[in-house]
Amino acid sequence: MRAFLLLSFLAAALPCAAADLARGSQTYALHCAVCHGPAGQGGVPGAPKFNRGERLMQSDLALLESVRRGRNIMPAFAGVLRDREILDVIAYLRTLQR
């Protein structure tokens, strides 16, 4: 019984913990690619090139904060996207590095 409870707890908790790359990719295409480029190669002047790892040496939390608040011409995404959605995009950004 104990083991069963533990297993059902893990089953319920784990999907929330892991980033959803598929959703991150969709959110990126919808909200970010216009400025950062479909493959993270950059677009508007000053936008970091994620395919070269630019700015990605920061922690997920630091990047989350920037995207929530906005930076220069990048609009604030707080209230548009949930933190969970932004973190999924950040996990996706890290896959664009070549």
- Residues interacting with ligand HEC, by CB under 6 A? 31-32, 34-36, 44, 46-48, 55, 58, 63, 66-67, 71-74, 77, 89
Q: Which is nearer to ligand HEC, 14 or 57 (CB)?
A: 57
Q: Which is nearer to ligand HEC, 6 or 44 (CB)?
A: 44
- Calpha distance 47→89 (Å, rounded): 16
Helix then strand count (H, E) for the chain reads 5, 0
Residue type, 89: V
Q: Which is nearer to ligand HEC, 6 or 70 (CB)?
A: 70
